[in-house]
């Protein structure tokens, strides 16, 4: 459970123009990052320095945006994609967000495992994207600095324009002991979770589905971006999930969408938000996966900032 480095970063920008951000800013950032990585992969843009030996320039876009399983993968060989090596911890809003010129804009980014070796690539791509214009009004922005958020609350300076980048610390999360009391889970951004072939709604919310989604997601991140297959008894974890009791739930459905330039249409991002309280006293082995869900997110759309959750006793 401690073998996968999970690093959180904050990129701080200075807006040069008035800016109108979409309700799902993570969708905007993901699109801009993908565009710049594609330009790097095709040779239309330069890449910073030497890349690690496990990836080539031509693979940058594919690795971050499509993330296919390797041919010899021990799992998910029939799937076109495996979990992406990053997530954006961006909020979602009911409407467009207007920011004045000279305001500060922050982007929260999480990189999993070996993707941290490509932090300089991601920073350069986002700097170029911000310089080209953000949001509907194409507001230009300059990078001020990049900081790493450490588990003890320290904000460690990593990079600022005009200086060499400091190597980030590889953080493998220290998981606290399972609480003796019930656990409250806050779904901060819409949770889109498939259960029995359908999108799970508040009326059909299943703690078992949420917990096993988090188990699968962490184990796949560990396999494809970390040290390899996770040594866990997944059958026992599934049986344990059936012992988790839903004490109370205050969940509702939030309608949300993003505009896809590629598809030329609005794509739904609806999902559940709110709180639920779980009695996990009979399933302590599932606690680490729930706690790690605060870093990995859950369900679909994690790269846009969906599926963010917070837990406390």
Q: Name which residue leads in pLDDT, 105 or 181.
A: 105
Q: How confident is the model at residue 277 (pLDDT cuts 50, 70, 90)?
A: very high
Using a pLDDT cut of 70, give the percent of the chain over it. Answer: 97
Q: What's the pLDDT at 78?
A: 64
Does residue 76 surpass a pLDDT of 70?
A: no
Is the pLDDT reported for residue 65 higher than 70? Answer: yes
Q: For position 258, what pLDDT does the model report?
A: 79
Same fold, 6-159 and 183-312: yes
CATH level 3 topology of 183-312: Alpha-Beta Plaits (3.30.70)
CB-based contacts of 32: which residues, under 8 Å, 6+ apart?
A: 125, 126, 129, 130, 132, 134
Res. 271: pLDDT tops 80: yes
Average pLDDT, stretch 163-168? 93
Beta-carbon contacts of 154 under 8 Å, excluding residues fewer than 6 positions away, are none
pLDDT at 275 over 90: yes
Among 76, 273, 286, 86, which residue's Cα sits nearest to residue 192? 273
pLDDT at 97 exceeding the cut of 60: yes
Three-state DSSP at 285 gives helix
Q: Checking DSSP bridges between strand 104-112 and strand 86-88, what pairing results, if any?
A: antiparallel
CA distance 307 to 192: 7
H or E element, residue 186: strand 183-191
User: Mean pLDDT, to the nearest integer, of 44-51?
Assistant: 93
pLDDT of residue 255 exceeding 70, the answer is yes
CATH code matching the domain that covers 6-159, chosen among 1.20.58, 3.30.70, 3.90.580, 1.10.10: 3.30.70
Tell me the whole-structure pTM to 2 decimals.
Answer: 0.94
Q: Could you give the C-alpha distances from 3 to 116, 156, 227, in angstroms and in order?
A: 14, 22, 6
The residues spanned by each domain of the chain are: 6-159, 183-312
**1 has a pLDDT exceeding 60:** no
């Amino acid at each position: 459970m401690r073998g996968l480095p999970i690093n959180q970063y904050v990129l701080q920008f200075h807006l040069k123009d008035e800016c109108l951000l979409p309700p799902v800013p993570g969708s905007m950032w993901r699109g801009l990052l993908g565009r710049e990585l594609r330009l790097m992969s095709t040779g239309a843009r330069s890449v910073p320095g030497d890349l690690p030996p496990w990836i080539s320039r031509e693979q940058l876009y594919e690795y971050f945006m499509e993330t296919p399983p390797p041919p010899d993968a021990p799992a998910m060989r029939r799937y076109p994609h495996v979990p992406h090596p990053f997530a954006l911890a961006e909020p979602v809003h009911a409407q467009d967000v207007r920011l004045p010129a000279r305001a500060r804009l922050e982007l929260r980014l999480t990189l999993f495992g070996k993707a941290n070796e490509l932090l300089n690539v991601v920073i350069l791509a986002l700097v170029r994207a911000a310089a080209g214009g953000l949001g509907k009004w194409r507001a230009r922005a300059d990078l001020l600095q990049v900081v790493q958020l450490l588990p003890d609350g320290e904000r460690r300076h990593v990079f600022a324009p005009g200086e060499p980048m400091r190597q980030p610390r590889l953080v493998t999360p220290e998981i606290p002991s399972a609480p003796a009391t019930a656990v409250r889970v806050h779904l901060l951004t819409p949770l889109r979770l498939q259960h029995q072939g359908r999108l799970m709604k508040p009326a059909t919310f299943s703690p078992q589905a949420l917990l096993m989604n988090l188990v699968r997601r962490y184990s796949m991140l560990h396999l494809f971006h970390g040290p390899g297959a996770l040594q866990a008894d997944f059958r026992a974890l599934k049986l344990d999930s059936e012992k988790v009791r839903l004490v109370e739930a205050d969940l509702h459905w939030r309608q949300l969408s993003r505009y896809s330039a590629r598809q030329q249409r609005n794509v739904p991002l609806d999902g559940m938000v709110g709180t639920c309280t779980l009695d996990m006293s009979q399933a302590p082995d599932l606690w680490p996966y729930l706690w790690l869900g605060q870093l990995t997110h859950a369900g679909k759309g994690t790269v846009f900032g969906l599926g963010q959750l917070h837990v406390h006793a």
